[in-house]
Amino acid sequence: MSSIIVHYQEIALKGKNRPWFLGRLVRHLRAAVADLDVREVRSLMGRIELVLGPTANQEEVGDRIRKTFGVANFSYATTAPLDLDAMASAIIDDLKGQSPATFRVSVRRADKRFEMPSPQIEREIGGRIKAVYGWTVNLSAAEFVVHIEILANAAFYFYRKERGPGGLPMGTAGRVLCLLSGGIDSPVAAHRMMKRGCTVTFVHFHSYPILSRASQDKARELVRLLTQWQLRSRLYLVPFGDIQQQALLLIPGPMLVVVYRRMMLRIAERVALIRRAQALITGDVVGQVASQTLENLAVVGAVATLPIFRPLIGMDKEEITAEAQRIGSYPISIIPDQDCCTLFTPRHPLTRARLEAVEQAEKALPIEAFIEAAVRDAVVEEFEFPVVGSTIER
Ligand code: ATP
Ligand code: MG
């Protein structure tokens, strides 16, 4: 019978909360493969077993596991009887057709009731493989490793470890609200927060109908993509055009970008309170554009009470781009659109805004009315992955 054995991040999952973290991980895995023929997902003596049904496509299940945070590595495994002879002959049978230059056997015994110590099992089974196939043993740098894991009711063997994404299981760190533009940076920032176990809710500001719907479509596509890691997402599409047009008349041009950003954060914070999110996330990077000087970041950030986290703050564009490519967001992010902030932005924005001056200028704006209208008129969309049969509770 075939299974997938998942190993999780030992260190992160240690301590008093371990059963709770583990429960989240198991629950997430179950939901992530809900539409595939996976018979069972169970926690088993320090690892998790996914029992595959006859129509399950291993690679497809593997792809879901690759997007499950908290997984250190996983292996496509076969179940073997808890009996040395039977185990050895099953493995020898299975190895037919392989011809590695060197090999070794690596045994982990989670249940010590199996009477033979691990090194002895390794020698015994390794010896039999060598006798049948004539392969050379190399204990320190084997090209091919036969892994055997012995548990209470079954043993598993496999030959390869696939890398998991690391991180912490989804839903173990609480909720955050990510300001998602259509650009390259913010989806990467959201993904980094998910990796640390945060559930991310998204807010996108658009200037439709002054501009096209393109930025909203990109935001949707990005959220759809990112939902593969968290399985359920909510996207707030907030109309921002009216606010921008009014600000354009009442705020000195060079200050506009900073004022727009502060308005976005105020509205985002209101949404965060509604959704019980505990922090705001942006894709800001020091020095990347005019609104991201230290001075401007401080003036913009001063408007929020909730903490603002900027996971990409010290990264280069190339590093962020490489990460966007790994995640798969890059091709969506580079689709041309009219960002709401480029339309109404002067050519020479302030690079060193002063908080008092900005606060003084903002007195001309009906800020509370802006926030209320934005929250009232926001369109909320829900996303699920996999689309059929997802049952994860939040
Ligand atoms: P990105 O690639 O994420 O768009 P950027 O380098 O283009 O970032 P800015 O456009 O200055 O930088 O935006 C900085 C951050 O402000 C973004 O990462 C995002 O978190 C937030 N932001 C900007 N525009 C919007 C928007 N229209 N809707 C929601 N958030 C936005
Ligand atoms: Mg942008």
For ligand 1, atom 4, name the residue with the nearest CA: 183
Q: What is the pLDDT of residue 341?
A: 63
Task: Give every residue of the chain whose pLDDT is below 50, as ranges.
Answer: 390, 392-394
Which residue out of 178, 179, 243 has the highest number of ligand 1 atoms within 8 Å of its CB and is therefore the one to mutate? 179
Q: What is the pLDDT of residue 340?
A: 61
Four-residue CA torsion sign, 182, 386, 5, 194: positive
Separation of CA 341 and ligand 1 centre (Å): 9
Six-digit token string for 89: 């002959």
Q: What is the pLDDT of residue 209?
A: 86
Residue 135 carries which DSSP code? P
180 close to ligand 1 (CB < 6 Angstrom): yes
Residue 254 carries which DSSP code? G
Six-digit token string for 4: 């997938």
Separation of CA 183 and ligand 1 centre (Å): 6
Six-digit token string for 94: 């299975």
Q: What is the pLDDT of residue 211?
A: 87
Measured CA to CA, the distance from residue 222 to residue 224 in angstroms comes to 5
Six-digit token string for 93: 């049978």
Q: What is the pLDDT of residue 394?
A: 44
Q: What is the pLDDT of residue 10?
A: 74
Q: What is the pLDDT of residue 54?
A: 95
For ligand 1, atom 31, name the residue with the nearest CA: 181
Please give the number of the atom of ligand 1 that sits closest to the Cα of 333: 2
Please give the number of the atom of ligand 1 that sits closest to the Cα of 339: 27
Judge contact between 87 and 128, C-beta under 8 A: no
- Give the ligand at the shortest distance from the Cα of 291: 1
Q: What is the pLDDT of residue 290?
A: 75
49 close to ligand 1 (CB < 6 Angstrom): no
290 close to ligand 1 (CB < 6 Angstrom): no
Measured CA to CA, the distance from residue 56 to residue 226 in angstroms comes to 24
Which residue in 10, 311, 362 sits closest to 187, CA to CA?
311
Separation of CA 146 and ligand 1 centre (Å): 48
Task: Write down the residue that tokens 């986290």 correspond to.
Answer: 309
Q: What is the DSSP string of 227-267?
A: HHHHSEEEEEEEE-HHHHHHHHHHS-GGGHHHHHHHHHHHH
Six-digit token string for 342: 């480029």
Average pLDDT, the chain: 93
Q: Which domains does the chain have, with CATH numbers?
A: 3-163 (3.30.2130.30), 175-393 (3.40.50.620)
Whether pTM > 0.85 for this model: the answer is yes
Separation of CA 185 and ligand 1 centre (Å): 7
Q: What is the pLDDT of residue 390?
A: 46
**Which ranges constitute the DSSP H helices of 67-181?**
84-94, 118-133
186 close to ligand 1 (CB < 6 Angstrom): yes
